[in-house]
Structures are given as structure tokens and as C-alpha cells.
């Protein structure tokens, strides 16, 4: 076989493999992302056995017993609340008023049962005051 023809075939195979890998990467990155829901969204949907990411503010923190924690999470705007049962590592910045994301499912009893070690604490913005207002001298576009 002609060496020039071999190079063309190799180039075609390499480009085809590269395009297939790129398409797989794009598909995986878009299909893996799930939108986090607030308590009001989950309560409206009801328990259906699906796994969700729940986000909101911690409104009541229960006692910590080892790696177990019971707390209540509310909508960011202060709407509905939902009790959460969690087991696993509790992040240091976890406390009332802090925004969190936790993965799990809504039980028949109306409690969000979180997966182990799925609790993520969001860091507050350094541009927002404790009361949620933006300081006067802060530039915001």
C-alpha cells in the first residue's frame, strides 16, 4: 500500500476517534448536571423515590450526634421548610442561616433523607452583609 494512502487512513481514523471522544465528553457533562431544588419544589412534587439536590438556608439546627444531624432547611426567600435527616461529615461552616446543598430523596413521612457525606455548605458572599443587604460602597454590575 502507498505510504501517502496509509497516512490519510491513519489521519481519518484519528480524527474520527477525536470527534467521538469530544461528543462523549459533551454528552456526559450536560447529562450529569442536575438542577438543585428548593423545599417548596420538593413538597409540591411529593415523595416519588427520585434523588434530588436540595438547596436552601438552614433555619433550625438540631443536635449533632456523632456523624448524624437533623436540621430544617427553608427556601432562600423564606417560604416552605423541610426537615432533613443527614449522616456523614458535617462541614465546619455549617450553621443556622447558611445556605447548603444536600443530595437525597423525600420520604413518605415528609422528611428529606440525605445521602451519606453529601452535605455541601455554600460560602457567603463577601459583598453581602449579615442581614442580606449589599453595603453602600460595593460596586455591583
DSSP string, 81-134: EEEEEEESPPPTT--TT-EEEEEEEE-TTS-EEEPTT--EEPPPPTTS-TTSPP
* CATH class, 39-121 region: mainly beta
Q: What angle do CA 16, 21, 23 make, to 5 degrees?
A: 95
Whole-structure pTM value = 0.65
Cell numbers for 87: 449522616
Q: Which residue has the higher pLDDT, 57 or 33?
A: 57
**How many residues would you count in the chain?**
141
Q: Report the C-alpha gap between 50 and 65 in whole angstroms.
A: 27
Average pLDDT, rounded, for the chain: 85
Per residue in 59-96, pLDDT tens? 888 888 877 899 999 998 888 899 999 999 888 888 88
Q: Report the C-alpha gap between 124 and 22 in whole angstroms.
A: 36
pLDDT band of residue 35 (cuts 50, 70, 90) is confident
Per residue in 9-31, pLDDT tens? 999 999 999 999 999 998 887 76
Domain boundaries, the chain: 1-33, 39-121
pLDDT of residue 136: 60
Amino acid at each position: 500500500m502507498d505510504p501517502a494512502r496509509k497516512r490519510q487512513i491513519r489521519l481519518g481514523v484519528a480524527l474520527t476517534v477525536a470527534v467521538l471522544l469530544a461528543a462523549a465528553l459533551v454528552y456526559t457533562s450536560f447529562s450529569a448536571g442536575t438542577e438543585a431544588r428548593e423545599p417548596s419544589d420538593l413538597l409540591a412534587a411529593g415523595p416519588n423515590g427520585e434523588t434530588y439536590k436540595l438547596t436552601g438556608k438552614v433555619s433550625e439546627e438540631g443536635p449533632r450526634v456523632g456523624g448524624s444531624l437533623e436540621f430544617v432547611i427553608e427556601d432562600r426567600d423564606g417560604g416552605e421548610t423541610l426537615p432533613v435527616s443527614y449522616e456523614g461529615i458535617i462541614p465546619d461552616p455549617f450553621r443556622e442561616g447558611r445556605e447548603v446543598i444536600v443530595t437525597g430523596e423525600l420520604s413518605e413521612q415528609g422528611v428529606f433523607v440525605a445521602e451519606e457525606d453529601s452535605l455541601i455548605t455554600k460560602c457567603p458572599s463577601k459583598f453581602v452583609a449579615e442581614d442580606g443587604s449589599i453595603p453602600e460602597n460595593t460596586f455591583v454590575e
